[in-house]
Structure 1
Amino acid sequence: MRLVTGVVFFGMAWLAVGPRVISGWWLLLPIAIFIVLVARHERIRALGRRTQRAAAFYERGLARIEDRWMSGAIAGGARASPIGRSHLETDRPYSEYNPSHPYAADLDIFGKGSLFELLSLARTRSGEGALAGWLLAPASPTEIAKRQDAIDELRNSLDLREDLAILGEDVRAAIHPEWMNRWGTRPRLLESRAARAVAPMLSFLMIASLVYYWGFYGSGWFVVAAFSFGGAFALHYRSRVREVTDSVADPVKDLQIFSLLLARLEKEQWKTQKLVELRAALNTQGRPPSKEIRKLVLMIEWLNSRLNPAFAAIGAPLLLWGTQFAFAIEQWRSQHGTAIGRWLDAIGELEALCSLSAYAYEHPDDPFPEIVESGTRVEGEDLRHPLLPAAQCVANTIRLDRDRQLLIISGSNMSGKSTLLRTVGVNAVLALAGAPVRAKHMRLSSLAIGATIRVMDSLQQGTSRFYAEIQRLRDIMELTKNMPVLFLLDEILHGTNSNDRAVGAEAVIRGLIDRGAIGLVTTHDLALTRLAESLAPRAANFHFEDHLENGRMVFDYRLHPGIVEKSNALALMRAVGLDV
């Protein structure tokens, strides 16, 4: 249609200019039609992009339900869309976490195929930061209860999650909370109310002097005086005005999308305490923050019109354009700048809650855990690992409390010992973040978590795996000074000789038990299993079994009481072709 309209325009132009059959005014008709078609085509393209993002949103939800959610596993349009893949693939803000964190690497909290990738629907850095923070540190029992209520209320809010998912082209790349916070809270550069009032008067004086000079043949001295006052005023504030205008030159898109996010969230009316508190954090001086942000966006857009060469040469100097808008922007910032951080935090927490509510919606059989405020305990019935496909999961039940603080898990290679530690740890992380858990039932107290499942050596830091492990054990011991600890120790101290290992492991475990910690320890060293007997009834032995079937090792992955009675190391070596 646009091509046809263009052909019609050139045809009518020839008729108007050549034979002059029609008036030139008729050319306005195809121009108007062309403008309407361009606008309509852009709306259709925007609708198409929105539809693609909505399809990708639902495809990713289906992928999570069907256990094909890991990066690269989502097919079709979801693979090509920012919504259809983890943000960690593109910007990875939380995959490069602190390697000394007591459990993040050990429990696959971040990275490809991680808990964060499974859970996160956040489209802003604030949302990702809030969810990451919840997964990295336990909340108080009161906060957990508030999050559980909020997640339960949001569980069926599918329209809200869809709207947030398809809002804007790339919200995550656009909104920079660090910049917004710094900009909103920095000291005010232009404070004088008198100067702000004088600026439009000087602009009027300069325009009036020109009208008087050219229209009424007035004195040129009046023009010189008016422009001298105006120029001196602009020169006095030039450096501060430039600092203000430079700081808002780029983030118009950021603020526009921020306004859209706020406007969508402002429509919601919630009942649970956590959501009501977050909704209240978005209120400011009786006006919705989305309108205040939109007001700022309009001021920046008007300010940026000074970049037009023709306007910059004549209109902007006469109107003191940059100076007046710099004063207006600083006035806005003095009124609302400190609230930006509060708005960003509220959006971040709401996005984190939406992520967890989506997980709850997609996994209706996963219950909320019971958080107890007294004692130290972790009880899990039919615990399963949330990152493993449901069809491959084997459930196990564990109980740890003041009466039984330690489980020593023995078993052969690949029998499931490390996976059990991760299963307990990841479900504890979910529980202490306020999320549902992958279990029939779970009951636990508020705990710090420490693990040595994936401790690595470091060439850059010049540390061996053994040294890295004993540093982590020291850190876990330090955690016990502040709150009860759940420890998950995999093949403790296997990087040293048998004698030192036995003495050191027993000392570390006894130290943790004496400090009130609870936890699980896996081992191949059957000598360590005797520790459970000396600590009984505070400790107990459990094991995993396997057997050889048609030349293949078969594992049942179920926890059995007692000590393992056989090893499969030699059988596995022969199975891969080693002559032993």
Structure 2
Amino acid sequence: MSSIHDYRKAIHTYRDQEVIYKKQLDTVSHIRLGIFLVGAAIVGYFSWMNENVIALLLLGIFTMAFLWAVIRHNLAKKQLNRIRCKITINNQYIDRTNGNWITFKDAGNDFVQPSHPYTSDLDIFGQKSLFQWMNVASTFVGRTILRNYLLNSEKDAQAITERHSAVQELAESFEFAQELQCEGMLGENINDNPEPLLSYIENPKTMFPNENWRFLFYALPVATIVSIVLTVLRVPYFEYIALAMLVVQVALTAIGFARVSEVLSTIYDCKSSIEAYSNIIHLIEKEKFQSAHLNKIQSNVRSGKQTASSQIIQLSKLVDRIDMRHSAFLYFILNTLFLWDYHCVFALENWKRENRHQIRKWLETIGAIEALSSLAVIKRIQPNWSYPKIYESNDATNGNNRQATKDIRIIAGEMGHPLIVEENRVCNDFSIQNHLGIVTGSNMSGKTTLLRTIGINLVLAYAGAPVCAKKFECSMMDIFTSMRITDDLNSGISSFYAELLRIKTIIEYVNEEKPMLFLIDEIFRGTNSQDRIIGAKNVLVNLSKDWVIGLISTHDFELCDLEHDKKVKIENYHFTEHYINNEIKFDYKLRKGRCRTTNAKYLMKMVGIQFLDERQL
């Protein structure tokens, strides 16, 4: 595993390389300019002296030299960009440990779903989110697969456990992970949705299903060139035939322009992405994985007579042919003589005939490795975090009545919130099994953070990632939260009513008799204390089922008496505080039992609000 020292050392090395490559780039730029100026002067001189043969010869030499300088310049520029990417990657790892990761550009804002059962409350997507902290996926598919991991779409504990060895191997293979991320960062528009590209390639339809028509487009250019050659050789009448053939080909180009352009533009728009896909797939192909899960994923790009990367390179070369359309003069000549556009389409159709059943699988392979690499980021920067032990929720069936398992639990040792900087993080032991919990405590004592800590670590556990705990055991279950409740003025919904709807959803899901966890913060805060207590008791009774565990936080100590109610299985937890020199101090440590302290008046005094005693009110 890499440490902060390793990242800083790598940055120092790359900074030295950056200086070298920058000097090389500047040198090649000067050479390129020198070749152009000297060549123009010398060729111009011999042309002025009417030494046209020598001028043409020198023009060819200086043109070749200039092209060499251009190629060298492009290579040096790519190397410099690659070094700068690696500097950024290592800086980002350091930022993930010191809290500066909240400035990362990709926060997964496009994945935010306010109506989702838990993602908004647990900061899974959006600014200052889990996704922003851990994501190293650049491709659209990679980001989507990581999103699906975090949405708890996987319900197979065995499949999740299989990811652990893959994540561990990628965490230890930093060079591969760094190259993977670097290729993604260098690929322009690689985060665009590839569906238009996939739709075209996977569609078996061709422009001319009848092979006879396609033969015509091969025969016409040959006949045209032959006619032109015979015209040059002064064979009688062939100048008219050549002219007619050229007119026919110009007409065919014009007739099919719109249809052909639609096809070629779809592919050309993905030019930079296709090149990046090829580089990433080649990187995956040549890596020697040990994990069975990674080898299974890798097999998707290793099957077939040709490697996936070589096939994508062929597609990239076809895209380079399409690039000829952007030179008006060359475009006219190529289509007039060769029907260039049609042959580009035919070449693409031949390519997709061979690969249309593979292309989606190749992109999904890239995405799967990127998503697993994002999970591996956690283990790389937090090597002491543990992999969770996950139990299947094995439901038994009794006649027509579905009986859910009675062993639903979370058992955690030294569990903390993964997004809190390590030096500020306070960890707690926590366990809940086949019962509900009520969490009480003063304002700012840690109640809400506890609920989010439990929820976000469960999300990590189900994704197949390490969790922020020394020990973590959990059952497979669905997660529901009710924390950040806001009103909706446009719909005329108050925050209290919005909370009611949220809790109604939780209670309705109970009837599914599927293992579930609920986390409700400051239940019914939007109403008076008497109604709040009555409402909260009803909610807890409705949720007290064999297949449900969960926590609510509250300031209403009266709810703690439910611990003695035989109709529900409830335990009390609390946070407390102490005072030193009239200052309030929190230790954020979770304790069993109910809270006995309040701190509202002390907090009011701290912010400067005069606190009157009861005789003055």
TM-score by length of 2: 0.84
1:342 aligns with 2:361: yes
Instruction: After superposing the two structures, state which structure 1 stretch, 515-524 or 189-198, moved more.
Output: 189-198
TM-fit CA distance, 1:7: 5.4
1:118 aligns with 2:133: yes
| Pair 1:240–1:5, CA change in 2 (3 A) | closer
User: CA-to-partner distance for each residue in 1:117-159, whole Å, 9 max, x for gaps?
Assistant: 1111111121111111111115220211111121122221111
| Pair 1:560–1:175, CA change in 2 (3 A) | closer
Q: Distance in 1 between matches of 2:448 and 2:534?
A: 22
Q: Distance in 1 between matches of 2:187 and 2:225?
A: 43
1:58 aligns with 2:77: no
Q: Distance in 2 between matches of 1:50 and 1:101?
A: 39
TM-fit CA distance, 1:162: 1.1
The 8 Å contact of residues 289 and 295 in structure 2, kept in 1 or not, is answered as: yes
> What SS class does the counterpart of residue 259 from structure 1 fall into?
helix
Tell me which amino acid in the other structure corresponds to 1:279: Q
The 8 Å contact of residues 513 and 547 in structure 2, kept in 1 or not, is answered as: no
Tell me which amino acid in the other structure corresponds to 2:320: E
1:370 aligns with 2:400: no
Equivalent positions of 1:192-231 (< 5 A) are: 192-219=210-237, 222-223=241-242, 226=245
Which residue matches 2:427? 395
Tell me which amino acid in the other structure corresponds to 1:115: L
Query: 2:180 pairs with 138, 158, 164, which one?
Result: 164
1:137 aligns with 2:152: yes
| Pair 1:357–1:574, CA change in 2 (3 A) | same
The 8 Å contact of residues 541 and 568 in structure 2, kept in 1 or not, is answered as: no
Gaps spanning 5+ residues in structure 2: where? 1-29, 394-406, 612-617
Instruction: After superposing the two structures, state which structure 1 stretch, 12-21 or 321-330, moved more.
Output: 12-21
Which residue matches 1:318? 337
Query: 2:602 pairs with 545, 549, 571, which one?
Result: 571
| Pair 1:28–1:327, CA change in 2 (3 A) | closer
1:540 aligns with 2:571: yes
Which residue matches 1:243? 262
Query: 2:525 pairs with 494, 499, 503, which one?
Result: 494
The 8 Å contact of residues 189 and 240 in structure 1, kept in 2 or not, is answered as: no
TM-fit CA distance, 1:205: 1.5
| Pair 1:503–1:236, CA change in 2 (3 A) | same
Equivalent positions of 1:17-416 (< 5 A) are: 24=55, 25=57, 32-64=64-96, 66-72=97-103, 85-88=104-107, 92-94=109-111, 97-139=112-154, 140-167=156-183, 170-171=186-187, 173-176=189-192, 177-186=194-203, 188-190=205-207, 191-219=209-237, 222-223=241-242, 226=245, 240-374=259-393, 375-402=407-434, 405-416=435-446
The 8 Å contact of residues 157 and 392 in structure 2, kept in 1 or not, is answered as: yes
| Pair 1:173–1:476, CA change in 2 (3 A) | farther
Q: Distance in 1 between matches of 2:69 and 2:472?
A: 60
Q: Distance in 2 between matches of 1:441 and 1:47?
A: 44
Q: Distance in 2 between matches of 1:41 and 1:484?
A: 61
| Pair 1:186–1:13, CA change in 2 (3 A) | closer
| Cα RMSD, aligned residues only | 2.7
TM-fit CA distance, 1:505: 1.4
Which residue matches 2:3? none
User: CA-to-partner distance for each residue in 1:227-275, whole Å, 9 max, x for gaps?
Assistant: 6875786677565434322322322112111111111111123232321
1:507 aligns with 2:538: yes
> What SS class does the counterpart of residue 318 from structure 1 fall into?
helix
Tell me which amino acid in the other structure corresponds to 1:517: V
> What SS class does the counterpart of residue 248 from structure 1 fall into?
helix
| Pair 1:63–1:312, CA change in 2 (3 A) | closer
The 8 Å contact of residues 102 and 133 in structure 2, kept in 1 or not, is answered as: no
Q: Distance in 2 between matches of 1:315 and 1:16?
A: 33
| Pair 1:121–1:315, CA change in 2 (3 A) | closer
The 8 Å contact of residues 141 and 372 in structure 1, kept in 2 or not, is answered as: yes
The 8 Å contact of residues 387 and 465 in structure 2, kept in 1 or not, is answered as: yes
Tell me which amino acid in the other structure corresponds to 2:316: V
The 8 Å contact of residues 380 and 441 in structure 1, kept in 2 or not, is answered as: yes
TM-fit CA distance, 1:172: 6.5
TM-fit CA distance, 1:322: 0.9
Which residue matches 1:457? 487
Q: Distance in 2 between matches of 1:306 and 1:473?
A: 59
Tell me which amino acid in the other structure corresponds to 1:421: L
User: CA-to-partner distance for each residue in 1:546-569, whole Å, 9 max, x for gaps?
Assistant: 122212111111112211112101
Q: Distance in 2 between matches of 1:431 and 1:423?
A: 12
| Pair 1:482–1:317, CA change in 2 (3 A) | farther
Tell me which amino acid in the other structure corresponds to 1:42: N
User: CA-to-partner distance for each residue in 1:304-355, whole Å, 9 max, x for gaps?
Assistant: 3144222333331221111122122123223323432222222111101011
Instruction: After superposing the two structures, state which structure 1 stretch, 14-23 or 429-438, moved more.
Output: 14-23
| Pair 1:208–1:376, CA change in 2 (3 A) | same
Gaps spanning 5+ residues in structure 1: where? 73-84
Instruction: After superposing the two structures, state which structure 1 stretch, 325-334 or 174-183, moved more.
Output: 174-183
Equivalent positions of 1:510-529 (< 5 A) are: 510-514=541-545, 516-529=547-560
User: CA-to-partner distance for each residue in 1:407-427, whole Å, 9 max, x for gaps?
Assistant: 111111000000110111111
TM-fit CA distance, 1:219: 2.8
TM-fit CA distance, 1:224: 6.8
The 8 Å contact of residues 141 and 367 in structure 2, kept in 1 or not, is answered as: yes
Instruction: After superposing the two structures, state which structure 1 stretch, 406-415 or 275-284, moved more.
Output: 275-284
Instruction: After superposing the two structures, state which structure 1 stretch, 223-232 or 166-175, moved more.
Output: 223-232
The 8 Å contact of residues 514 and 547 in structure 2, kept in 1 or not, is answered as: no
TM-fit CA distance, 1:223: 4.3
Length, aligned pairs only = 561
Q: Distance in 1 between matches of 2:60 and 2:249?
A: 42
Q: Distance in 2 between matches of 1:577 and 1:175?
A: 50
The 8 Å contact of residues 484 and 517 in structure 1, kept in 2 or not, is answered as: yes
Q: Distance in 2 between matches of 1:168 and 1:13?
A: 44
The 8 Å contact of residues 369 and 431 in structure 1, kept in 2 or not, is answered as: yes
> What SS class does the counterpart of residue 565 from structure 2 fall into?
helix
> What SS class does the counterpart of residue 314 from structure 1 fall into?
helix
> What SS class does the counterpart of residue 217 from structure 1 fall into?
coil
Q: Distance in 1 between matches of 2:117 and 2:533?
A: 23
